[in-house]
Structure 1
Amino acid sequence: MKVFPLYEGSYSVDISKKFIPFDPAMHDYKDRPGSLFVYVQPFLIETSSHLIVIDTGLGFKTESGELLIHENIKKAGYHPDDVDLVLMSHLHFDHSAGMVYEQGGKWQLSFPHAEYVINRGEWESAYSNPSKSYRTEIFDIVQRSGSVNFIEGNGRLNDQVTYELTGGHCEFHQVFLIEDGAEKVFFGGDILPEPEQLLRKFKAKYDFDPTRAMELRDHYGKLAAENNWFCLFYHAKSQATGRVELKGDAFKIVEGDKL
Structure 2
Amino acid sequence: MATIIPLSEGSFTIGKDKIFHPFNHAEDDLQQRATGSLLVEVQPFCIVTERDVLLIDTGLGFSQQGELQIHRNLKANGIQPADVTKVLMSHLHKDHAGGVSYKDRLGNAHLAFPNATYFVQRREYDFAEATGYPSFITDEFEVFDRHPRVFWLHDDEGSIDNYIHYQVTGAHSPYHQVFWIETAEGLIFFGGDDAPQHKQMLSRFVAKYDHDGKKCMELRQQWWDKGSADGWTFLFYHDISHPYLKP
Shorter-chain TM range is over 0.9
CA distance in 1: counterparts of 2:43 and 2:185, whole angstroms = 25
| RMSD of aligned Cα (Å) | 1.5
2:166 maps to amino acid: Y
Tell me, yes or no, if structure 1 residue 5 matches structure 2 residue 13.
Answer: no
2:186 maps to amino acid: E
2:126 aligned partner: 124
Tell me, yes or no, if structure 1 residue 164 matches structure 2 residue 146.
Answer: no
1:129 is displaced (CA, Å) by: 2.9
1:25 is displaced (CA, Å) by: 1.7
Tell me, yes or no, if structure 1 residue 40 matches structure 2 residue 42.
Answer: yes
C-alpha distance after superposition, 1:41-88 (max 9, x if no partner): 0000111111100000000123x3321111111111111101010001
1:131 is displaced (CA, Å) by: 4.2
1:192 aligned partner: 195
Q: Percent identity?
A: 40
2:93 aligned partner: 92
5+ residue gaps, structure 1? 245-259
Q: 1:39 to 1:122 in 2, by over 3 A?
A: same
SS of alignment partner, residue 98 of structure 1? coil
1:77 maps to amino acid: G
2:228 aligned partner: 225
C-alpha distance after superposition, 1:4-52 (max 9, x if no partner): 0001001122333221211132223244213222111000011111110
CA distance in 2: counterparts of 1:174 and 1:181, whole angstroms = 23
Contact map agreement 2:47 2:55 (CA 8 A) in 1 = yes
SS of alignment partner, residue 99 of structure 2? helix
Contact map agreement 2:202 2:221 (CA 8 A) in 1 = no
1:193 is displaced (CA, Å) by: 0.6
Tell me the TM-score normalized by structure 1. 0.89
2:217 aligned partner: 214
5+ residue gaps, structure 2? none
2:10 maps to amino acid: G
SS of alignment partner, residue 186 of structure 1? strand
Tell me, yes or no, if structure 1 residue 154 matches structure 2 residue 174.
Answer: no
Question: How many residue pairs end up in the alignment?
Answer: 243
Contact map agreement 1:99 1:142 (CA 8 A) in 2 = no
CA distance in 2: counterparts of 1:180 and 1:37, whole angstroms = 32
| Correspondence list, 1:102-117, <5 A | 102-106=103-107, 107-117=109-119
